[in-house]
């Protein structure tokens, strides 16, 4: 387990404790903040897993990653050029 995973787990545990405290004390704002912190911890874990999978995939197939990056760059450039030509036609 690395520090990224530890931070995500810590946020989840702290959020669960905060949610429980809000429930026991009858404070809905504290409970809601706890739920938000739990969701933040879960999203951190999902992001960490996606980053690890991407890193592994790029290490295994570097040419595929370069091709995919080029395709995404081309698509973004084409979308930007199309949007730019539409705005110049209006102006």
Which of 45, 21, 41, 47 lies closest to 32 in space, CA to CA?
A: 21
Q: How far apart are CA 79 and CA 66, in angstroms?
A: 20
pLDDT of residue 2: 83
| Length of the chain, in residues | 91
Which of 70, 74, 8, 16 lies closest to 43 in space, CA to CA?
A: 8
pLDDT of residue 91: 59
Query: Which tokens go with 69?
Result: 């990056």
Q: Could you read off the pLDDT of 29-75 as tens digits, one per residue?
A: 999 999 999 999 999 999 999 999 989 988 999 999 899 999 999 99
Q: Regarding predicted confidence, which is higher, 2 or 27?
A: 27
CA distances from 56 to 7, 25, 34, 62, 72 (A): 22, 46, 33, 10, 19
pLDDT of residue 85: 84
């Amino acid at each position: 387990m690395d520090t990224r995973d530890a931070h995500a787990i810590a946020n989840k545990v702290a959020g669960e404790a905060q949610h429980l405290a809000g429930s026991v004390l009858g404070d809905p704002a504290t409970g809601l903040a706890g739920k938000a912190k739990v969701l933040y911890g879960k999203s951190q874990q999902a992001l960490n897993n996606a980053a690890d999978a991407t890193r592994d995939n790029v290490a295994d197939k570097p040419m595929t990653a370069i091709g995919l990056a080029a395709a995404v760059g081309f698509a973004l450039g084409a979308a930007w050029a199309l949007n730019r030509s539409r705005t110049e036609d209006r102006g």
